[in-house]
Amino acid sequence: MSTVDSSGTRGAGGGLDARGASATLQPEPGTAIGRFLSDGWIATRRNLMKIIRVPDILVFTLLQPIMFVLLFTFVFGAAIDVPGGYTSFLMAGIFAQTVVFGSTYSGSAMAQDLKDGIIDRFRTLPMSGAAVLVGRTNGDLVINGLSMLVMMGTGWLVGWRVESSFLGFLAGVVLLLLFAYAFSWLMAFLGMSVRSPEIINNVSFLVLFPLTFISNAFVPTENLPTPLRIFSEWNPVSALVQSARELFGNVPAGTPVGDAWTAQNPILTVLIGIAVLLVIFVPLSIAKFAALGKK
């Protein structure tokens, strides 16, 4: 530690002697696991600071979900007649759509960090590359968690209630966040594969908007034209929405359920989806990060 003390300003001349006769600072003793966890935390903390410092993110995270809940409830609620009331039907759909869109942030932020050169700074440091990705996806998880809190509060105000149990409620929230977290890894991979952050924003809008709308998120699907209805039944977003509805107890008796296996087994479908996303995109993203310098 004494190495730090010997460097300092060199008096009135204003000269600098950052190195002087002092030695290079050595790392604290630590295990590989300990360092990985520390790196992951530092990378996460950096992304959390960004949430606080960049107003756009806060607006996207907090205000937009509130707006969606209110708009859908009051605009569509009057026109769409579902058993149990539209607000109760809607909330799981809004949750799912918001957290899926929240995950795209990993993609655009990864692309932006690459462009800004901060990733190159990290790559000259003796830190774990995987930790950069862990920090990134953790950041999304926190953003999505905040969005969920805000949406649940707003939903409660307009009459949404959890009709199941506390455990069911917890399971529903965890499932939504876990799916979004797994999806963040896919987005992080895409973020490292594109040339600019704008591409991620545009593509995710073009892909995710139809994906979340051609589902059971906002409307009952039994009256959709057949091709859309089949798409919707096999759509993983539908499975996510259906799972959340069931876990929150927002599915009144008599609500029709699709014939597809995924519609019959929504929770299992989502769990499989989470596993598949993580098994594929965690290693793929880590390999992609490690290969950044090879091209």
Binding site for other proteins (CB under 8 A): 1, 3-4, 7-10, 15-25, 27-28, 30, 35, 38-39, 42, 45-46, 49-50, 53-54, 116-118, 120-127, 293-294
* Beta carbon nearer to other proteins, 27 or 227: 27
Q: Residue 254 or 293: which CB sits closer to other proteins?
A: 293
134 vs 138: CA distance, rounded Å:
6
Please report how close the Cβ of residue 129 comes to other proteins at its closest, in angstroms: 11
Q: How far is the CB of 46 from other proteins (least distance, A)?
A: 6
- 11 or 227: whose CB is closer to other proteins? 11
DSSP letter for each residue of the chain: -HHHHT----STT----SSTTPPPPPPPP--HHHHHHHHHHHHHHHHHHHHHH-HHHHIIIIIHHHHHHHHIIIIITTT---TT-HHHHHHHHHHHHHHHHHHHHHHHHHHHHHHHTHHHHHHTTTS-HHHHHHHHHHHHHHHHHHHHHHHHHHHHHTT----S-HHHHHHHHHHHHHHHHHHHHHHHHHHHHSS-HHHHHHHHHHHHHHHHHSSSSSS-STTS-HHHHHHHHH-HHHHHHHHHHHHHT---TT----SSHHHHSHHHHHHHHHHHHHHHHHHHHHHHHHTTTT-
CA distances from 46 to 145, 167, 225, 262 (A): 17, 32, 47, 38
* Cβ distance to other proteins smaller for residue 102 or 129: 129
Shortest distance in whole angstroms from residue 181 CB to other proteins: 22
Q: How far is the CB of 62 from other proteins (least distance, A)?
A: 18
Please state the closest distance from residue 295 (CB atom) to other proteins, in A: 8
Angle value at C-alpha 259, between 254 and 261, nearest 5 degrees: 120
Which C-beta is closer to other proteins: that of 15 or that of 227? 15
Query: What's the CA gap between 80 and 126, in Å, rounded?
Result: 56
Minimal distance, residue 193 CB to other proteins, in Å: 15
Comparison of 2 and 223: residue with beta carbon closer to other proteins: 2
Least Å distance between CB 120 and other proteins?
5
**What's the closest the beta carbon of residue 134 comes to other proteins, in angstroms?**
13
24 vs 223, beta carbon nearer other proteins:
24
Nearest CB to other proteins, comparing residues 27 and 225 = 27
